[in-house]
């Protein structure tokens, strides 16, 4: 079990607290177009203010590739964050991130003040976890808090390097929630534990399939990746998405499931069409056929109705469900039925339901089921690496309780 020190376990009164946030928000003409990440960061920031810390926020934004890019400055984030917090968040404008301006701003802080440093990726060392920049960041603070899950799978100065030079390193509320759900719930799940995997390609999720098969009781495979499994069973899959190089891997996974006594559920029917819709949301003529009866000139673009019912049924008695990857081309309403059926089944179950980031998180939110899930991960790459069973450097770096 991961048992990391959190903001509840540290003393910050009168201390300078460097907080690594995920303020990597979409910007258009200097305006923030989606402020979810800012809102999500507030509980940790408010807690540190209430406890009398001097709160120094930092984050990356986009990919400035190691040089100042005015269009990727965090200045607009400081403005919006001030409004959301109801308190000034002073922006420490500094092309060097930790230059004279930032140092002076920190030196002038009183307990409960908040400042925001410039985009950490203005510094070329950031993504290389360089020693000099790590030390410079650490020199600003007495305590470090990491609340940026989206970068936890990377070892950078602002989330890993800096922890080598600060004794007290804790995680924020957001990070704690990701650890509780994706880390601990998956590693010691309340059973039955059902894992559902979909999305485009088997190759993207090789280690996730293998790791979850060991942890879960039932593994459900849908989406584009299912057709490589169906082909591995010897079925005709027409022009469906297939990764010929991974057929042996799929056979291996089916054998592994059998050996471990795990249920591996694959589509028994599928929704087919003549071609991939273009544009993606175009009106399209479809039919539902048995999984072993896909005509050679047709492609599978969603699970079929019988499969949707079977998958929904498998979720019913579950106590823990993890889901990553849509069941079909959900961007098209005609091909979203399988994904909707699974989302609905998750919304209806009493199980702890965990959505593993990226496209799946977007799909669940877009389809209106977001509020009914126990946890929707904020990190695409980081959540996948967690599901692969990997240790995330950004998580490991925090002190244990």
- Single residue of 161, 328, 379, 393 touching ligand ATP by CB under 6 A: 328
Smallest separation (angstroms) from ligand ATP to the CB of 201: 6
Residues 326 and 311: beta-carbon distance below 8 Å: no
Interaction of residue 340 with ligand ATP, rule CB under 6 A = no
Residues 48 and 19: beta-carbon distance below 8 Å: yes
Interaction of residue 51 with ligand ATP, rule CB under 6 A = no
Please work out the total of residues on this chain that contact ligand ATP, with binding judged by CB under 6 A.
19
Smallest separation (angstroms) from ligand ATP to the CB of 86: 34
Residue closer to ligand ATP by CB (options 366, 374) is 366
Show contacts with ligand ATP in window 180-209 (CB under 6 A): 199-200, 204
Q: Which residues are catalytic?
A: 37, 201, 358, 381
Interaction of residue 325 with ligand ATP, rule CB under 6 A = yes
Interaction of residue 224 with ligand ATP, rule CB under 6 A = yes
- Single residue of 238, 304, 358, 393 touching ligand ATP by CB under 6 A: 358
Show contacts with ligand ATP in window 125-184 (CB under 6 A): none
Residue closer to ligand ATP by CB (options 380, 393) is 380
Show contacts with ligand ATP in window 294-313 (CB under 6 A): 300-301
Residues 140 and 16: beta-carbon distance below 8 Å: yes
Interaction of residue 360 with ligand ATP, rule CB under 6 A = yes
Residue closer to ligand ATP by CB (options 45, 373) is 373
Smallest separation (angstroms) from ligand ATP to the CB of 216: 17
Residue closer to ligand ATP by CB (options 270, 349) is 270
Structure tokens at 375: 């946890």
Specify the pairing of strand 263-265 against strand 114-117. unpaired
Residue closer to ligand ATP by CB (options 255, 297) is 297
Interaction of residue 331 with ligand ATP, rule CB under 6 A = yes
Smallest separation (angstroms) from ligand ATP to the CB of 318: 20
Smallest separation (angstroms) from ligand ATP to the CB of 47: 30
- Interacting residues with ligand ATP (CB under 6 A): 199-200, 204, 223-224, 241, 300-301, 324-326, 328-329, 331, 357-360, 380
């Amino acid at each position: 079990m991961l048992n990391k020190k959190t903001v509840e376990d540290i003393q910050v009164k009168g201390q300078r607290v460097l907080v690594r946030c995920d303020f990597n928000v979409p910007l258009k003409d200097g305006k923030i177009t989606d402020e979810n990440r800012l809102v999500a960061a507030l509980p940790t920031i408010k807690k540190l203010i209430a406890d009398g810390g001097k709160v120094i926020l930092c984050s990356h934004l986009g990919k400035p590739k190691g040089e100042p890019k005015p269009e990727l400055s965090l200045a607009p984030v400081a403005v919006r964050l001030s409004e959301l917090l109801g308190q000034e968040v002073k922006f420490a404008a500094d092309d060097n991130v930790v230059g004279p301006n930032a140092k002076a701003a920190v030196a002038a802080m009183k307990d409960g003040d908040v400042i925001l440093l410039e985009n950490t990726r203005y510094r070329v060392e950031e993504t290389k976890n360089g020693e000099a920049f790590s030390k410079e960041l650490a020199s600003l603070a007495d305590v470090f808090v990491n609340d940026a899950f989206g970068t936890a799978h990377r070892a950078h100065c602002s989330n890993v390097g800096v922890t080598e030079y600060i004794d007290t390193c804790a995680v924020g509320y957001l990070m704690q929630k990701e650890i509780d759900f994706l880390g601990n719930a998956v590693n010691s799940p309340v059973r039955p534990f059902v894992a559902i995997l979909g999305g485009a390609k088997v190759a993207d999720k090789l280690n996730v399939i293998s790791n979850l098969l060991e942890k879960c009781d039932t593994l459900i495979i849908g989406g584009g990746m299912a057709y490589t499994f169906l082909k591995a069973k010897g079925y005709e899959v027409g022009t469906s998405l297939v990764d010929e190089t991974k057929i042996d891997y799929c056979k291996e996974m089916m054998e592994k499931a059998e050996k471990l006594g795990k249920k591996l559920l694959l589509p028994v029917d599928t929704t087919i069409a003549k071609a991939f819709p273009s544009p993606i949301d175009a009106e399209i003529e479809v039919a539902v056929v048995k999984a072993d009866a896909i005509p050679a000139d047709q492609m599978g673009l969603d699970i079929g109705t019988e499969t949707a019912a079977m998958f929904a049924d498998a979720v019913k008695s579950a106590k823990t469900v993890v889901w990553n990857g849509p069941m079909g081309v959900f961007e098209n309403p005609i091909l979203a039925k399988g994904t909707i059926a699974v989302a609905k089944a998750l919304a209806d179950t009493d199980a702890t339901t965990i959505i593993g980031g990226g496209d799946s998180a977007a799909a669940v939110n877009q389809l209106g089921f977001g509020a009914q899930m126990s946890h929707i991960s904020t990190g695409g790459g980081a959540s996948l690496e967690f599901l692969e069973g990997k240790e995330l450097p950004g998580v490991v770096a925090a002190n244990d309780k």
